[in-house]
Structure 1
Amino acid sequence: MADKSVEELDNLEQRVEHVIAECQRLREENRVLHETQEQLKAERATLQEKNELARSQIESMISRLKAMEQ
């Protein structure tokens, strides 16, 4: 009986260690995902600014072309 209890405790200890390792892995993965998300947000903001600048420049060119036609 004592051997079975020791075996069960060893098994439980291995399972707990596995859960701890999995939590650490998930925590690291979550950290990396948060960093990636922040980088993507910054990149998106930059692209939106560039897009708005390009739109403004194109609208300005269209206005000049229309003025030249008249």
Structure 2
Amino acid sequence: MSDDLLRALENKMDQLIHRCHQLQQENAELKAREGEWQQERTRLIEKNELARSRVEAMISHLKNLDTE
């Protein structure tokens, strides 16, 4: 193998290694963001359920007042 071809191959390998590290970092960041979104989603679902139960309790209370 000629020196030029070997250097070109080494350069390509270095670029691939660098790109691999970039993708690993990006993947880690995306996984962290996904975890944050999942936590927020869970929190919002809990808030929604709490609001729903409060509204249902108010409706029930109003129906009881109406029948009295």
TM-score, structure 1 as length reference:
0.92
Instruction: Give the unaligned 5+ runs of structure 2.
Output: none
Q: Deviations over 1:12-48 (max 9, x none)?
A: 0110001001100000000001100110111011001
Instruction: Give the unaligned 5+ runs of structure 1.
Output: none
Per-residue deviation at 1:68?
Answer: 1.1
The structure 2 residue matched to 1:27, chosen from 24, 27, 51, is 24
**1:11 maps to amino acid:** A
Detail structure 1 runs of 4+ shifted over 3 Å in the superposition.
Answer: none
CA distance in 2, matches of 1:16, 1:29: 20
Identical pairs, percent: 40
CA distance in 1, matches of 2:11, 2:55: 65
CA distance in 1, matches of 2:14, 2:66: 77
The structure 2 residue matched to 1:16, chosen from 13, 16, 27, is 13
TM-score, structure 2 as length reference:
0.94
1:1-70 correspondence to structure 2 within 5 Å: 5-70=2-67
